[in-house]
Structures are given as C-alpha cells and as structure tokens.
Amino acid sequence: MLNAPAQNGAGKNEYGQSRKNYSQCTVQHEKNSYLCKSNIRNMPEQELIELLHTLQKYPHESEWVEFKQNFHSAEEIGQDISALSNGACIQNQPFGYMVFGIKDGTHEITGTTFHAKSHKKGNEDLEHWLATRLNPRIDFSIYEFDYAQNKHISLFVIPAAKAQPIEFLHKSHIRVGSITRSLSEFPEKQAKIWKKDNPPFEKEIAKDKLSAQDITQLLSTETYFDLMKLPYPTTQQGVIEKFLEEGLIIKTRQQYAVTKLGALLFAKNLRDFESVERKAVRVIVYKGKGKIHTEREQIFAKGYAVDFDAMVEWIYAQYIPSWA
C-alpha cells in the first residue's frame, strides 16, 4: 500500500509539504522506495499500477515527472528524457518519470495509443534509437501495461543524471514548469548537476540480495582465477573473499550484491543484470563503406572478460578467409 497523502493545510500541498518544496517529495512504497530499488526494471504490474496512482496524485508536472496522452515525435521523447534525467538529479530524485496515458491538467487516466516498446523510428526500435542518441548513455526502462480495458499505459523510468548533464543529440535539456527548455539557458541548474558527488559507475549495484551460491551461479568465477593465473579456491568462501577484495561484489548485511564492474566483466549472461544488459558488446559488419546496410551482426551476451576470446575470434573470422 502506498503512503497516504496528508490533509491540506495553510501553505501545504496534499502531501503535507511546502508547495515550493513539492518537487522534493519521493514516491514511497510501504516498505521500499520505488526510487531507490536497484531492481526497479523488474517491477510487477501491481506495483506499476500503484506507482501510476502515486504519480497521478501530484497536483502538477515537475522537473522530474511528465504526463502525456499520445505520441508526437521521437525527437520530443529524446529531449524529454534528457530533461527529466537532469531534473531528477537537481531535485535529488534517483529517477524521473514520463507517463503516456495520463491527461495533463486533470491527470485523468485516459490510456494511450502509443506502444513505446514496439514503436519504430524508421527501421529501428524506438528504444534503441533513443538510447544511442543520449550522452552519456543511461539505462532508462520502458514499461507497457493495461491499466483497464482500452486504457493502455506506456511508462518511462529514467535514472537521474550523474556527474554531468544528459544530452540528446548533443544538447542537454531541463523542464521549467511543464515546458522543456535548453539547459544552457539556466547555468545555475547546469552547475548543480556538475557539482553532484556520485559514486563511480563501476561501484554501483547491478544485482543485490544474493547468496554466496547465487554469486557463483551468476558470475563465471573460474574465468577470474584463470585470467589471474591463480589456483581456484577449495571452498566457496574463498571465492567470495577474493571477489570482495577485488570490488566485484560487496557485502550487504547477511547477503551479497554484484557491482556493475563484476557483472560487466564476469557475468555468465548479462541478461541476468538488467541495469547493464544494454552494455553487451554488439559487433556489426556493414556492406561497403557506409553504415546503412547491415550484412551481419553478433551480440556477445556474456561479461567482457568471459567472452573476450570469442569476440576476437568472431571479428577475426570476418576478415580472414577460411582458407588463409
């Protein structure tokens, strides 16, 4: 159950906060904050509906929350992702939200004809088209679900910018009220993003709440010891201690968590780590000198250290005749 809004009071909004500080509030679950969950990309439909209800209760859009009814253009979405990510950073929110299917102003849940996951930009999936035009790249998530009959929802969950503004097509944006503007027009906001002290990417958590056995099932621990030319420990705890020492995993209470460094290097399957899944190596062979016609491509779904030899072998095979 979601936290209930407080009653209105003088100078307060419906959440009992000062109106001028309204954008500081977070979306809270009874036990966990939606905004702090490392596995937010795995949210079940009921939690998505509860999150939708919570966002719907906001009196207006903010720097990190936007409502839309239907699709206008891919470029507009890209600009909004940049703006919401930057806005979330400034407002100390781990995520920004863009919801298709809620009417701005009344916040009525109307549904949308827009299906973001299957939408195409030319011959390219919209999600991939957007992701490759953001700099630095961020692992935003798209959820599709039916709130009610004939009321489809497309929800974008967008991580806050870290250490530098997020650009779309080489330009960063910010939301001012309900309008998306160029961030360069607001140097004081831009400065706040640059001044943020965030942990480095490789130390962030890729997957948590794991046992020692989970660690050895998800990560190719053998590869680490082979590459380091070290004997494989005789006990599972010996493996865990070495991975803790290297920062590939960390201890969290009585459990463990895999860092993004650990996942990217030693994952048996990067699909097990949704926050870094998009960082799998993808090699494309184009026809001719341009990048219009693709002849073939190969995605290496394992960690970089695990799949390195296979990557080199595949790339080498594309240029060396079989008879050479």
Q: What is the DSSP secondary-structure string of 221-278?
A: HHHHHHHTT-PPPSSHHHHHHHHHHTTSEEEETTEEEEEHHHHHHHBS-GGG-TTTGG
Q: Let me know whether 221 and 292 are in one domain.
A: no
* Alpha carbons within 13 A on the beta-carbon side of 59: 15
pTM of the model: 0.56
State the pLDDT confidence band at 47, using cuts at 50, 70 and 90: confident
Q: Let me know whether 210 and 155 are in one domain.
A: no
Degrees, nearest 5: CA angle 142-31-103: 40
Domain assignment present for residue 10? The answer is no
Domain assignment present for residue 139? The answer is yes
Q: Let me know whether 165 and 97 are in one domain.
A: yes
For the chain, the helix, strand and coil percentages under 3-state DSSP, each to the nearest 5: 35, 25, 40
pLDDT digits 0-9 by tens, 61-89: 889 999 998 899 999 999 999 999 999 99
Q: What is the pLDDT of residue 261?
A: 96
CB atoms within 10 A of CB 137: 13
173 vs 50 pLDDT, higher one: 173
30-43 burial, b at 16+ Cβ within 10 Å, e below that, comes to eeeebbebbebbeb
State the pLDDT confidence band at 150, using cuts at 50, 70 and 90: confident
Q: Let me know whether 37 and 186 are in one domain.
A: yes
pLDDT digits 0-9 by tens, 214-225: 999 999 999 999
Residue 267 has pLDDT above 70, yes or no: yes
Q: Let me know whether 43 and 192 are in one domain.
A: yes
Q: Let me know whether 137 and 260 are in one domain.
A: no
The tokens for 69 are: 């009814």
Q: Let me know whether 184 and 254 are in one domain.
A: no
Q: What is the DSSP code (8-state) at residue 202? A: G
Q: What is the pLDDT of residue 319?
A: 76
Q: What is the pLDDT of residue 68?
A: 92
Which phi and psi (to 5°) does residue 23 adopt? -70, -5
State the pLDDT confidence band at 253, using cuts at 50, 70 and 90: low
Q: Which of 198, 216, 235 is the last residue of a domain?
A: 198
- pLDDT mean across residues, the chain: 83
Q: Let me know whether 183 and 225 are in one domain.
A: no
Q: Let me know whether 46 and 124 are in one domain.
A: yes
Q: What is the pLDDT of residue 10?
A: 38
Identify the domain containing residue 138 by its residue range.
Answer: 19-198
Q: Which of 198, 225, 253 is the last residue of a domain?
A: 198
Residue 24 has pLDDT above 60, yes or no: no
Q: How far apart are CA 249 and CA 301, in angstroms?
A: 20
Domain assignment present for residue 4? The answer is no
38: nearest Cα among 300, 299, 256: 256
Q: What is the pLDDT of residue 306?
A: 97
56: nearest Cα among 160, 151, 142, 150: 151
What Å distances lie between residue 36 and 72, 80, 95, CA to CA?
31, 22, 8
Domain assignment present for residue 68? The answer is yes
Kindly state the greatest CA–CA separation across the chain: 82
Average pLDDT value for residue range 315-319: 86
Percentage of the residues of the chain whose pLDDT score is greater than 70: 84
Q: What is the pLDDT of residue 139?
A: 87
Q: Among 174-178, 185-189, 195-199, which stretch is predicted with the lowest mean pLDDT?
A: 195-199
Domain assignment present for residue 83? The answer is yes
Degrees, nearest 5: CA angle 209-97-29: 45
The residue with tokens 């961030």 is 183
Q: Which of 146, 164, 198 is the last residue of a domain?
A: 198
Q: Which residues pair with 135 in a beta bridge?
A: 167
Domain assignment present for residue 267? The answer is yes
Q: What is the pLDDT of residue 127?
A: 94
Q: Let me know whether 89 and 153 are in one domain.
A: yes
State the pLDDT confidence band at 178, using cuts at 50, 70 and 90: confident
Q: What is the pLDDT of residue 287?
A: 86
Residue 11 has pLDDT above 80, yes or no: no
Q: Let me know whether 158 and 91 are in one domain.
A: yes
Q: What is the pLDDT of residue 50?
A: 87
Q: Let me know whether 299 and 272 are in one domain.
A: no
Average pLDDT value for residue range 192-198: 80
CATH number at residue 38: 3.30.950
Q: What is the pLDDT of residue 299?
A: 94
Domain count, the chain: 3
Domain assignment present for residue 12? The answer is no
Average pLDDT value for residue range 119-127: 92
Domain assignment present for residue 14? The answer is no
